[in-house]
Chains A and B, each alone.
Chain A
């Protein structure tokens, strides 16, 4: 049967489903479901890391191999710097822009380097919104509790408290820069309810929240004349030989030359790992999400946290073929969209946390209640037309213009036809362990945003990522800038790389790869 014939059951069962309420799982059932179906619990996909700061800790094979990988820089490389600065920010997404703007504002000579263009990132794609407790019935404490529950109680309390308490001042900063958050009739910020949250707390710019924030931040970085190095991929960090970070080496992707930058502090804001396609999953991530910052920090001795847990967003597109892995925003479920299996039944409370919803979708498909496309992929339905039925014609178009356009390009009207979805690799829950100033255990090496770890525990709550970027981007930028005034530039050496190589040799140089990866190898080499 073709996909359109299979869709009919969604239309036929819509009215009956609207009367149903699906209770959330009990804690026991939830744990059972996750342990059985969540990809984080697929033991065969994991192995222990052989050496380095996290020796013996398990992570996915794809990441372990890269962490143990060799540097592309030779021991005797010329380390004469072409640039010197107080604060070197690596990464041009939300965390990188926030870090650079705050460091610059605090008077530090700042360079922002990124391997693609300024702004090319996951941040720009964030559709769901940004969690900040601005509503009168809400509070930072409630935000803290919700996040803790979502993270399976494993979040770093100190990091989390900082994030929820600084949220409102971040909203104010963004408003002053001209970000157009959605408003209520009385002028207050409009808040939407997100999965796993007990109160409406999502600030939105229709379904373009990340794009709107990034348009503004990028513009501000250029207006502030912060020095940019675009198409410059970080390939190694530099140290003073005693474990303090002092700069980085980049490869200019236009001419393949190396660029050495001396810096009093380095802020890694390099984002996540979606393009490693862990366990063969498609991904919602941008082209450069290859975990570069993790490899660089690890070689320098920075400890990682929670690198065994990843977020598989429940709703990645499965059809049409061109959109495989692309995100279908959680906003659809926030506004009441149902998940429906091949028998026309709902099977999970759609507003449960992402790990629970993803696990339940995988369960439906593995137990044979999924829908198969002509290219052999399997998924379940997300009933988008329900939103128009529930809230009036035109709702989908008005609230989700980005998503409407995305599907319209392939001849699909999501206000009339349901969307086929399956979990897509979305986010790295863990990362480089940081303190409340965003600093790692390596002195003067900071990490902000998705590359950092600890804040989100074992499952990030929807809408907490955009806030994470802004809060810890700011903290890293301000701390690094504050330190620069009373500091001298340290020596530039590769001692940490030599030590790492010696360690790798002892382990038999088993990795066989050069890391960081920089870009995924999508170009067909033969044929």
Chain B
């Protein structure tokens, strides 16, 4: 418990009561406290959310949501766990979208850059509308990424899409029926599995373990009693 002394330097402002704002959830008006997240606003309004919530930390992409702010015609996208509500806001969650994911065995691909066109033949049909980039809540230049994939610059794609949470909001907007996040996932995995150097040090370490290089050290440690082990641990800084 807090000590009452001159040491106590905590500032003690009056705890503020939240202001209520009126928002629209899937077309229905509700009053919720200002500034709570979109997903919390749904809970506050008494809506059970099962599909549409995952990690609640902005990483899993489960809570893809369309929203519009007051008097603005532009419909934007967000992750519901990462967006605060404001007065006059209107939103609805994105339903699961039936995008086609190609299946492949990443390790046995013979020519990954050419295989892209067999797995995702629609990828080169991008008509440059840029809707995917505008839809990305992670601010990835998705359109640029699709073109880079098509031109075989897999390395750049894998770097650009490291932020991708696979929410899939780039997909319903595509007039060429490309699923850019799935294309980028294939490209990134191919980059890792086929176009990245094998780390030599890792193989050395695996061989050392197989050859029993640490055998004596293990034997020494595993036969120590509790006290000896504690003393040994204290020597490792």
Residues of chain A having any CB pair with chain B under 8 Å: 1, 6, 27, 116-117, 119-122, 124-125, 133-136, 139-142, 144-146, 148-149, 153, 157, 161, 165, 168-169, 171-172, 175-180, 183, 187-189, 198, 205-206, 208, 210-212, 215-216, 219-220, 222-223, 225, 231, 253-254, 284, 286-287, 320-322, 326-327, 342-343, 366-372, 374-376, 378, 401-402, 405-406, 409-410, 519, 522-525, 527
Given contacts A153-B229, A168-B202, A223-B106, contact A375 B54 (CB under 8 A): no
Question: What is the CB-to-nearest-CB distance from B145 to chain A, in angstroms, rounded to a whole number?
Answer: 15
- Residues facing A in B8-34 (CB within 8 A) are 8-13, 15-16
Q: What are the residues of chain B within 8 A of A372 when measuring CB–CB? A: 10-13
Q: What are the residues of chain A within 8 A of B201 when measuring CB–CB? A: 134-136, 188-189
State in angstroms the CA–CA spacing of A176 and B108 once bound together: 10
Residues of chain B having any CB pair with chain A under 8 Å: 1-3, 5, 7-13, 15-16, 35-37, 40, 43-51, 53-60, 62, 82-84, 101, 103-107, 138-139, 158, 162-166, 185, 188-193, 196-206, 209, 214, 217-218, 221-222, 226, 229-230, 232-234, 236-237
- Report whether B163 and A189 are in contact in the complex, using a CB–CB cutoff of 8 Å: no
Q: What 12 new A-B contacts, CB under 8 Å, besides A121-B60, A187-B198, A343-B9?
A: A117-B54, A169-B206, A175-B199, A208-B162, A215-B164, A216-B189, A368-B8, A368-B10, A372-B10, A372-B11, A401-B162, A519-B50
Q: What are the residues of chain B within 8 A of A523 when measuring CB–CB? A: 43, 46-49
- Report whether B189 and A171 are in contact in the complex, using a CB–CB cutoff of 8 Å: no
Q: Among the listed A117, A135, A215, A368, which residue makes an inter-chain contact with B185, where contact means beta carbons less than 8 Å apart?
A: A215
Name the CB-closest residue of A to B182. A219
State in angstroms the CA–CA spacing of A142 and B53 once bound together: 40
27 contacts between A and B (CB under 8 A): A1-B11, A117-B60, A120-B55, A134-B202, A136-B201, A142-B236, A145-B221, A169-B206, A172-B203, A172-B206, A175-B192, A176-B107, A180-B191, A180-B196, A216-B192, A231-B51, A287-B54, A287-B55, A366-B2, A371-B10, A401-B163, A402-B163, A405-B138, A405-B163, A522-B43, A523-B43, A527-B46
Question: Top 5 nearest A-B pairs by Cβ distance?
Answer: A368-B8, A178-B189, A178-B192, A120-B54, A187-B197
State in angstroms the CA–CA spacing of A136 and B208 once bound together: 11
State in angstroms the CA–CA spacing of A223 and B189 once bound together: 12
Q: Among the listed B43, B47, B199, B233, which residue makes an inter-chain contact with A189, where contact means beta carbons less than 8 Å apart?
A: B199
State in angstroms the CA–CA spacing of A253 and B49 once bound together: 11
- Report whether B106 and A177 are in contact in the complex, using a CB–CB cutoff of 8 Å: yes
- Report whether A145 and B9 are in contact in the complex, using a CB–CB cutoff of 8 Å: no
Q: What are the residues of chain A within 8 A of B232 when measuring CB–CB? A: 145
- Report whether B59 and A149 are in contact in the complex, using a CB–CB cutoff of 8 Å: no
- Report whether A322 and B36 are in contact in the complex, using a CB–CB cutoff of 8 Å: yes
State in angstroms the CA–CA spacing of A210 and B58 once bound together: 13
- Report whether B191 and A178 are in contact in the complex, using a CB–CB cutoff of 8 Å: yes
Q: What are the residues of chain B within 8 A of A208 when measuring CB–CB? A: 59, 162-163
Q: What are the residues of chain B within 8 A of A122 when measuring CB–CB? A: 55
State in angstroms the CA–CA spacing of A321 and B3 once bound together: 26
- Report whether A409 and B236 are in contact in the complex, using a CB–CB cutoff of 8 Å: no
Q: What are the residues of chain A within 8 A of B104 when measuring CB–CB? A: 223
Given contacts A148-B233, A187-B199, contact A371 B53 (CB under 8 A): no
- Report whether A141 and B221 are in contact in the complex, using a CB–CB cutoff of 8 Å: yes
Q: What are the residues of chain A within 8 A of B226 when measuring CB–CB? A: 153
- Report whether A180 and B162 are in contact in the complex, using a CB–CB cutoff of 8 Å: yes
Question: What is the CB-to-nearest-CB distance from A45 to chain B, in angstroms, rounded to a whole number?
Answer: 15
State in angstroms the CA–CA spacing of A196 and B163 once bound together: 28
Given contacts A368-B8, A410-B84, contact A134 B236 (CB under 8 A): no
- Report whether A210 and B59 are in contact in the complex, using a CB–CB cutoff of 8 Å: yes
Name the CB-closest residue of B to A341. B9
State in angstroms the CA–CA spacing of A179 and B203 once bound together: 16
- Report whether B36 and A211 are in contact in the complex, using a CB–CB cutoff of 8 Å: no
- Report whether A188 and B200 are in contact in the complex, using a CB–CB cutoff of 8 Å: yes
Q: What are the residues of chain A within 8 A of B47 when measuring CB–CB? A: 523
Question: What is the CB-to-nearest-CB distance from A93 to chain B, in angstroms, rounded to a whole number?
Answer: 10
Name the CB-closest residue of A to B16. A374
- Report whether B36 and A225 are in contact in the complex, using a CB–CB cutoff of 8 Å: no
Q: What are the residues of chain B within 8 A of A212 when measuring CB–CB? A: 162
- Report whether B50 and A253 are in contact in the complex, using a CB–CB cutoff of 8 Å: yes
Q: What are the residues of chain A within 8 A of B203 when measuring CB–CB? A: 172
State in angstroms the CA–CA spacing of A177 and B105 once bound together: 9
Q: What are the residues of chain A within 8 A of B103 when measuring CB–CB? A: 222-223, 225
- Report whether A321 and B9 are in contact in the complex, using a CB–CB cutoff of 8 Å: no
Q: What are the residues of chain A within 8 A of B51 when measuring CB–CB? A: 231, 254
- Report whether A149 and B202 are in contact in the complex, using a CB–CB cutoff of 8 Å: no
Q: Among the listed A140, A216, A524, which residue makes an inter-chain contact with B44, where contact means beta carbons less than 8 Å apart?
A: A524
Among B60, B83, B204, B218: residue with most chain A CB under 10 A:
B60
Name the CB-closest residue of A to B164. A215
Given contacts A366-B1, A409-B83, contact A120 B9 (CB under 8 A): no
Question: What is the CB-to-nearest-CB distance from A177 to chain B, in angstroms, rounded to a whole number?
Answer: 6
- Report whether B62 and A116 are in contact in the complex, using a CB–CB cutoff of 8 Å: yes
- Report whether A119 and B60 are in contact in the complex, using a CB–CB cutoff of 8 Å: yes
Q: What are the residues of chain B within 8 A of A144 when measuring CB–CB? A: 221
State in angstroms the CA–CA spacing of A213 and B202 once bound together: 18
Question: What is the CB-to-nearest-CB distance from B12 to chain A, in angstroms, rounded to a whole number?
Answer: 6
- Report whether A367 and B7 are in contact in the complex, using a CB–CB cutoff of 8 Å: yes
Question: What is the CB-to-nearest-CB distance from B7 to chain A, in angstroms, rounded to a whole number?
Answer: 5
Question: What is the CB-to-nearest-CB distance from A123 to chain B, in angstroms, rounded to a whole number?
Answer: 9
Q: Among the listed B106, B107, B200, which residue makes an inter-chain contact with A187, where contact means beta carbons less than 8 Å apart?
A: B200
- Report whether B192 and A180 are in contact in the complex, using a CB–CB cutoff of 8 Å: yes
- Report whether A342 and B205 are in contact in the complex, using a CB–CB cutoff of 8 Å: no
Q: What are the residues of chain B within 8 A of A124 when measuring CB–CB? A: 54-55, 59-60
State in angstroms the CA–CA spacing of A321 and B237 once bound together: 39
